[in-house]
Structures are given as structure tokens and as C-alpha cells.
């Protein structure tokens, strides 16, 4: 088995702004924890720095007029009519190098897809990717270019059958929208329910359209859903659909903002639960293109994605964070000294409510979606 890690130091040049929750330093921090564990130099592992994607490659999904606006915003000054395209103060600020950053992100995910499609790697991880909210003509939810959609389109152009699974706390709405009428791609998203969290979508009844009814799958979760409730629900929905759809390759968005201490969301997974979900995806995928996604507590991002990369390489890591990482842990004020979280039992009423809600969603998926796939 060959695995590929896609990473670029170019991200140190970009900054959404001092008050923005998406901190670029999370990427370098993750890389350094992976390296401290020895995960970047193992036999069979290759590391690749992406080239920025061309405008033509990005135009495979995004509207040319929107890309003109992104290019015009690259100097850090809002172009005229920016709000029409989702740009401006708040979630999607205009900052110096915006278009450059979008091209690097897209290039990394396209490279990961090509490494897997060509057979150069069985599993590839571009943890700076997974910006799943961007729409064809609009920035959304910290996302300017939808690199996940571009990766899927690249794999489809290579003749591969693609299943997309998204475990970010936020619904993967941009990817769902891109393939909502395309039965050649099955999208599955598990996320905090949309009546509590951005983007306000991702209900079971969003099932696809036309010939693709039953090919958009959503498993919404009650706030405070923990690993002990999430993992059985994941198991009830994802493996049967992967087996029935029989993809050539899985594209996975591995947002770690489902963690119990993430400042923007309300789920309660621990790193262990997140890692178990990733291991199941790895086991189910004949080939895997993994992308990052959300995650706004830096210690969770570094630990979660390091655990995910270990799973992709079938490596069991020591719990204690490596001594070589101690300086980073101090600088970033890590509250834990281990890869894994301590147990944090939930109040019984929260667990019962989460369990009852997710069981209703699983039952609805079995009733509305499974028959389409012969289940």
C-alpha cells in the first residue's frame, strides 16, 4: 500500500484576519505533530507540495464571472459588488492573496485525486482541503472554491465511480448541490442538524432530484451528540450504502469541528470517536481521497488529523504527544498532553435525547433512501 500526504508551506502567507475563527496556523501545527510522530517519513509514504490550480481547472465547477471576482479580490481590496458573490466582512472576508489561497487549495485536492486515480497512491490526504460550502457562483462558510467538488469531477473524468462521505459538524451543502441531480455520485453527510447550525440544510428529506433521488444522503444529529451515539448511527447508514453503491474511490471530508470543545459547534465527539469513524471509512474505501475541513480549536485539529493520517497508514500511535512537539504544545496552549481525550460522561438526559433523535433519522433513511439501493 502506498499513501500520499499533500502539504504546502504556502499557507503561512495567508490570513483571514485576526478575528476570524479559521486560523491557517492549524495546518503547520498538524504537519509538525505528524512529523513528530514519524508519520511523514514512513516507508510507503510520499509527501507532495501542490502547484496552484489553473483557472481553467477551477472553472470545471465554478462560474467564470465568479472566478473573475476572486481574481480581482487577490490584492486584499473588496471588488465592486463583492457581496453579491458572498464576499465581505464576516465569514468570507477579502484578504491579500485570496485568489492565490483558493488556487493552492484546489491544486492540493486535485493532486490528491490524481495520485489516487493514477495508482501512485492508494490513499491520499490533503488536510488543507475540504472547503465544502463554496457554491458555483458564491463563497460561503469560509470557503471560496469547492476543492472537494473539483476532486470528485477529476475522478469522474477518469471514469471512476465516486462516493463522498462528509463527517464535518456542518452539512456538506456545496458538494450536495453540485451533484444533486447526478446518480453517478453518492453523497453522504453526517452533521449537526440544520435548524441549530449553519448552513441550515442537510435534512433527511433532501434526497437528490430527477434520476438522482436517493443519491443525496443526510444524517442530521442533535446537539451534544457524543461518540457513543454517533458511531452506531454512522455504522447503520454508511457501510450499507458504501456496499450497495460499490464505489471505485471514496472522497472523504474529515472536518474535526464535531469535537466536544470546538467553539463553533455543539456536537460532543472525542478524538477517539472521530478516529474510529475515519478508520471505518478507510476500511470501507477501495481507494481514498481524504480532505480536511472544519476545526476551530487548534489542539483538536492537530490531534484529530494526525490520528486520521495514522489510520490511513494502519499505524497505532502512542498516546503521549512526542517530546519533539513539546514546544508547539506550549506555544499553542494545549490543554492535553496526549493524542486521546479523557472520558467526559454526558448527562443522561442529553444522551437519551441525542439517541432518540438520531434513531428517527436512521429509520427515515432506511425507509426513504435504502430501497433506491436495494437495501
Contacts of 84 (CB under 8 A, 6+ apart): none
From the number of C-beta atoms within 10 Å of its C-beta (0-12, 13-18, 19+), residue 349 rates as exposed
Annotated catalytic residue within 48, 126, 132, 133: 133
Q: What is the CATH number of the domain that holds 318?
A: 3.40.800.20
Mean pLDDT of the region 78-106: 97
Task: Please say if the pLDDT value at position 271 is more than 90.
Answer: yes
Percent of the chain with pLDDT over 70: 100
Coil, helix or strand for 47?
A: strand
Residue 329: exposure state from Cβ atoms within 10 A (0-12, 13-18, ≥19) = buried
Which residue has cell 514512513?
A: 42
Residue 185 has φ and ψ, to the nearest 5°, of -130, 125
pLDDT band at 368 (very low <50, low <70, confident <90, very high): very high
**Span 10-53, pLDDT tens digits:** 999 999 999 999 999 999 999 999 999 999 999 999 999 999 99
Residue numbers of the domain that contains 98: 3-373
Of 152, 151, 165, 160, the residue nearest 107 (C-alpha): 151
Mean pLDDT over each residue of the chain, to the nearest integer: 97
Give me the torsion for CA of 117, 120, 123, 126, rounded to 10°: -80
Rounded to an integer, the average pLDDT of 216-233 is: 98
Q: Is 121 exposed, middle or buried (0-12, 13-18, 19+ CB in 10 A)?
A: buried
HEC letters along 182-237: CCCEEEEEEEECCCCCCCCCCCCCCCCCHHHCCCEEEEEECCCCEHHHHHHHHHHH
Give the per-residue pLDDT at 117: 98
For the chain, count helices (H), then strands (E): 11, 8
User: Among residues 55, 167, 30, which one has the least CA distance to residue 110?
Assistant: 55
Q: Could you tell me the three cell numbers for 35?
A: 512529523
pLDDT over 90 (residue 114): yes
For residue range 323-349, what is the model confidence (pLDDT) as tens digits?
A: 999 999 999 999 999 999 999 988 999
Interval 353-370 mean pLDDT = 98
At 51 the pLDDT is: 97
CA distance 346 to 343: 9
The count of other CB atoms within 10 Å of the CB of residue 264 is 16
Q: Is the pLDDT of residue 294 over 90?
A: yes
pLDDT grade for 112, boundaries at 50, 70 and 90: very high
Give exposure, 207-217, as e/b (b: 16+ Cβ within 10 Å).
bbeeebebbbb
Q: Considering its fold, how many domains does the chain have in total?
A: 1
Contact assessment for residue 297 and residue 263, using Cβ atoms and an 8 Å cutoff: yes
Task: Give percent above pLDDT 90 in the chain.
Answer: 99
Q: Per-residue DSSP letters for 149-186?
A: HHHHHHHHHTT--EEEEE-SSS--HHHHHHTTT-TTEE
Q: Note the pLDDT tens digit of each residue in 172-224.
A: 999 999 999 999 999 999 999 999 999 999 999 999 999 999 999 999 999 99
137-153 average pLDDT score? 98
pLDDT at 345: 87
133 is annotated as an active-site residue: yes
Q: What is the pLDDT of residue 280?
A: 98
Amino acid at each position: 500500500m502506498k499513501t500520499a500526504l499533500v502539504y504546502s508551506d504556502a499557507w503561512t502567507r495567508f490570513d483571514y484576519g485576526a478575528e476570524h475563527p479559521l486560523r491557517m496556523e492549524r495546518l503547520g501545527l498538524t504537519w509538525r505533530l505528524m512529523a513528530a510522530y514519524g508519520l511523514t517519513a514512513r516507508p510507503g509514504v510520499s509527501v507532495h507540495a501542490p502547484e496552484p490550480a489553473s483557472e481553467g481547472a477551477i472553472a470545471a465547477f465554478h462560474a467564470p464571472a465568479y472566478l473573475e471576482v476572486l481574481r480581482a479580490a487577490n490584492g486584499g481590496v473588496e471588488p465592486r459588488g463583492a457581496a453579491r458573490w458572498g464576499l465581505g466582512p464576516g465569514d468570507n472576508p477579502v484578504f491579500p492573496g485570496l485568489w492565490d489561497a483558493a488556487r493552492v487549495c484546489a491544486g492540493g485536492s486535485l493532486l490528491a485525486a490524481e495520485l489516487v486515480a493514477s495508482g501512485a497512491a492508494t490513499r491520499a490526504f490533503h488536510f488543507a482541503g475540504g472547503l465544502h460550502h463554496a457554491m458555483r457562483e458564491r463563497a460561503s462558510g469560509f470557503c471560496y472554491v469547492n476543492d472537494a467538488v473539483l476532486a470528485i469531477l477529476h475522478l469522474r473524468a477518469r471514469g471512476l465511480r465516486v462516493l463522498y462521505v462528509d463527517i464535518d459538524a456542518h452539512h456538506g451543502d456545496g458538494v450536495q448541490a453540485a451533484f444533486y441531480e447526478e446518480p453517478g455520485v453518492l453523497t453522504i453527510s453526517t452533521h449537526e442538524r440544520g435548524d441549530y447550525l449553519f448552513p441550515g440544510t442537510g435534512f433527511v428529506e433532501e434526497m437528490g432530484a430527477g434520476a438522482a433521488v436517493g443519491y443525496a444522503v443526510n444524517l442530521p444529529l442533535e446537539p451534544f451528540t457524543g461518540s457513543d451515539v454517533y458511531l452506531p448511527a454512522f455504522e447503520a447508514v454508511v457501510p450499507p450504502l458504501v456496499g450497495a453503491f460499490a464505489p471505485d474511490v471514496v472522497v472523504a471530508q474529515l472536518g474535526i469541528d464535531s469535537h466536544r470543545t470546538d467553539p463553533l459547534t455543539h456536537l460532543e465527539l472525542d478524538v477517539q470517536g472521530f478516529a474510529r469513524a475515519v478508520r471505518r471509512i478507510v476500511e470501507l474505501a477501495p481507494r481514498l481521497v481524504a480532505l480536511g475541513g472544519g476545526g476551530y480549536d487548534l489542539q483538536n485539529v492537530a490531534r484529530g488529523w494526525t490520528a486520521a493520517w495514522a489510520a490511513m497508514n494502519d499505524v497505532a500511535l502512542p498516546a503521549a504527544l512526542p517530546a519533539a512537539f513539546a514546544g508547539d504544545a506550549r506555544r499553542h496552549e494545549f490543554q492535553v498532553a496526549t493524542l486521546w481525550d479523557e472520558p467526559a460522561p454526558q448527562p443522561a438526559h442529553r444522551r437519551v435525547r441525542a439517541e432518540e433523535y438520531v434513531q428517527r433519522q436512521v429509520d427515515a433513511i432506511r425507509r426513504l433512501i435504502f430501497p433506491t439501493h436495494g437495501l
